Amino acid sequence: MSSINTTSIPIEKGKTKESDQSKSIESNDQTQKSTKTLSFFENNNTLYLDIIDSLNNFHFVHLNDQGKFIFEEYVTLQNGVKIFPCKLPIHHDSGELVPVVGIPRKEELEVAVLKKPNELFEILKSHIEKYVDAPDLEIRIYNYFLFFTWFYAKVNTSPYLRFIGDTGKGKSRFLTVISDLSFYPIKATGGSSTSGIMRFHERWKGTLRIDEGDLQGGYDNPMIKFLNCGFEKGNYLILSDKVDPKKQQIFDAYGPKVIAMRDTFKDNATESRCLSFTPQETLNKKIPPELPRCYNHEVEVLRAQITIFVLHNWNKIDPDYFMDCDDLDIESRLIQISRPLSIITQLFPDGEKDFKKYLIERQIELKRTRSESFEGRIFNSVYGLAIGDIDVDEKFKEYLENGIPKVITVAMVAADTTLKPSAIIGALRSIGFTTINTSIRLVKTKIQTNENEDFNNVSIDNKRSVRKLIVSNEARWTEIIKRYYSPDFDTELTRIISEPIACPSNIQGPQYLSTGTSPVVIVSDIRGPRGANTTSQPSFEDKTEKSTAHTTGNTSNIRQDENSTFVTTPEIFENNGVLS
């Protein structure tokens, strides 16, 4: 708020300086409320966009009832509020305008011709292919994304387009070419201050472009918080003014963003908001190593054509229309970041097929990435052991029946992965596993080794207490298998999302298949935060109880051990659904 010079305010009889100053402040507040500065707005179903002319004057452009351009220096609403267009900043030394935001130019608008949707789509696609080297499907998705940025204000969620890769892969070129055609691209670099980026984004509400945006730290990083909030409408950042901490400033982070970075975000929430692509170093000799001088003019022409297209088609986009993804077994987060883009398919009907193909390929990529993660490696060890694809360690051979373990324990996984049990159980709990106490009976049979022995088929019953890894229900298993199972990626794409993977019986919880007609009691392993166990829990290592001998006539599945005259035939017992 600007300061008030009280000496310039005449003091009437019966009034104090304080009351006059208060009235002056109220008058000043009223003046401020009667004017606004916006980069774009919608009024009576008409879209108004901020543009610039060759003399660096700023205007609003909109269409009249006859579909003709109307240029105005400001717009007065019915309530008397005047709205002025945003202006680019002036350089503090040169005094020239800094083109930090890509704005449509008035002169190009006046000569541009309205294109049909598919015609304009192919024009933009050809422009992108001229400067970047990528598969056809990816370029089509880039095209849909840049169209979406011009309509993003109609929906409640806005995903981020992210190019990730090492230096020399061309990610900065992708960032430039795609963002230059997006809605009001705000050019920022990873070296910009978070407060500066937030303030400039607040003013223009455009597509935030971040180059080399490798951000250190996790969710507590201010820029990470800004990106996390910006995915969805209604998430505001409230910050205290550094000069006057009693005052607060509110920032709306919502809006599309295009990011180029060398590594993934450390915060999983930020990572999940990105439509990610990994550029490859091009071998196409037609791709220029540097952008030519004609590039900027080409962008101005195309930006004007997009502006005309958006003004004419603004009301043809129904914000409640989204692509139906019920026929795809795609995880909810991927659908959430993709569905907003699908509003564009109202103008480009072929887009739905492209989106679904992309979603399938992206789901496969996510499954591959997760299967190679720490949690994925551990899960696939559990699953491989459970179905017999991975051989158990020699010390657990007595758990086998027909080559398949009757139970899977943390110790078995530790032997396969060479990881610490504490790390394994922590990872498995994080993705949905738990453990229960159970006992397995190992029947060891003494075999006659020479003619002088006076016994045959003497069996020793060895009962062992273990902690069995389990999945409690089918819904939990479906979630785990969808996220972490590593399938055969060389097979047909639709196979891995259409065929369910059954949960092996040796890792199913006691009530996994329960109908709910009778109560089931489970000895669970639920704990509080790390270091705050709510109950005393036994060790994860297998515990052996005292053995009891008995005689049996069953000699099936007898195997002669190399170093012992005993073989094992494990049997597991259940009592009313409770493993014992």
Q: What's the pLDDT at 350? A: 85
Determine phi and psi for 46, rounding to 5 degrees: -115, 130
Q: Nearest 5°: phi and psi at 29?
A: -60, -40
Give the pLDDT of residue 176. Answer: 95
The token pair at 382 is 């559990």
Region of 453 (left: φ > 0; alpha: ψ -120 to 50; beta: rest) is: beta
Same domain assignment for residues 199 and 240: yes
Reported in sequence order, the residue ranges of 9-127 that DSSP labels E, i.e. its strands, are: 35-38, 40-43, 46-52, 58-63, 69-72, 75-76, 82-85
CA dihedral 410, 416, 422, 427 (to 10 degrees): -90
In single-letter form, the type of residue at position 346 comes to Q
In the numeric block, which tokens belong to residue 106? 């008035």
pLDDT tens digits, one per residue of 298-344? 999 999 999 999 999 999 999 998 888 877 877 777 888 888 899 99
Domain contains 267: yes
Contact in structure between 278 and 164 (CB atoms under 8 Å): yes
Q: Kindly state whether residues 407 and 517 are assigned to the same domain.
A: yes
Q: What is the mean pLDDT of each run of 10 residues along the chain (580 residues)?
A: 34 44 49 82 96 96 94 94 95 90 97 96 97 94 96 94 88 95 89 83 94 66 86 86 80 93 81 87 90 96 98 95 82 82 91 88 80 90 94 90 91 94 94 91 59 54 84 92 69 48 92 50 33 36 36 35 35 34
Which of 154, 101, 503, 469 is CA-nearest to residue 303? 101
Nearest CA among 105, 110, 114, 98 for reference residue 59? 105
What pLDDT is attached to residue 456?
53
Task: Give yes or no: residues 128 and 1 share one domain.
Answer: no
As beta bridge partners, residue 98 has: none
Is residue 351 one of the residues assigned to a domain? no
State pTM to two decimals: 0.71
Classify strands 574-575 and 578-579 as parallel, antiparallel or unpaired. Answer: antiparallel
| Same domain, residue pair 82 and 123 | no
Shared-domain flag, residues 388 and 501: yes
- The tally of domains found in the chain comes to 4
CATH code of the domain containing 237 = 3.40.50
**Whole domain around residue 6: which residue ranges?**
1-31
What angle do helix axes 410-417 and 421-431 make, rounded to 10 degrees?
Answer: 110
Give yes or no: residues 58 and 171 share one domain: no
Rounded Cα distance, 146 and 104, in Å: 15
Give the residue among 124, 117, 161, 119 at the shortest CA–CA distance from 140.
124
Token representation of residue 163: 């190019």
Q: Are residues 58 and 128 in the same domain?
A: no
Beta bridge partners of 83: 36, 75
H helices present in 220-282, as ranges: 222-229, 268-271
Does residue 348 fall inside a structural domain? no
Beta strand 82-85 pairing with 75-76: antiparallel
Whether residues 460 and 552 fall in one domain: yes
Buried b (16+ CB within 10 A) or exposed e, 177-215: bbbbbbbbbbbbeeebebeebbebbebbbbbbbbbebeb
Amino acid at 26: E
Shared domain for 42 and 126, answered yes or no, is no
| Whether residue 2 is found in the same domain as residue 78 | no
Counting Cβ atoms within 10 Å, is residue 393 exposed (0-12), middle (13-18) or buried (19+)?
middle
Helix or strand or coil: residue 105? strand
Name, in order, each residue with C-beta under 8 angstroms of 175's C-beta and a sequence gap of 6 or more: 163, 209, 211, 258, 259, 260
Residue 411: per-residue pLDDT: 95
> Residue 278: CB partners within 8 Å, gap ≥ 6?
163, 164, 165, 169
Do 182 and 289 sit in the same domain of this protein? yes
Residue 566 counted as domain residue: yes
Residues 132 and 248 in one domain: yes
Task: Indicate whether 342 belongs to any domain.
Answer: no
Cα first-last separation, the chain: 73
- Judged on CB neighbours under 10 Å (0-12, 13-18, 19+), 92 is exposed
d(CA 400, CA 440): 11
Written as one letter, the residue type at 238 is I
Is there a domain that residue 345 lies in? no
Q: What pLDDT, on a 0 to 100 scale, did the predictor assign at position 565? A: 32
Q: Is residue 229 part of a domain?
A: yes
Q: What number of residues does the chain have?
A: 580
* Percentages (nearest 5) of helix, strand, coil residues in the chain: 35, 20, 45
Residue 538 lies in a domain: yes
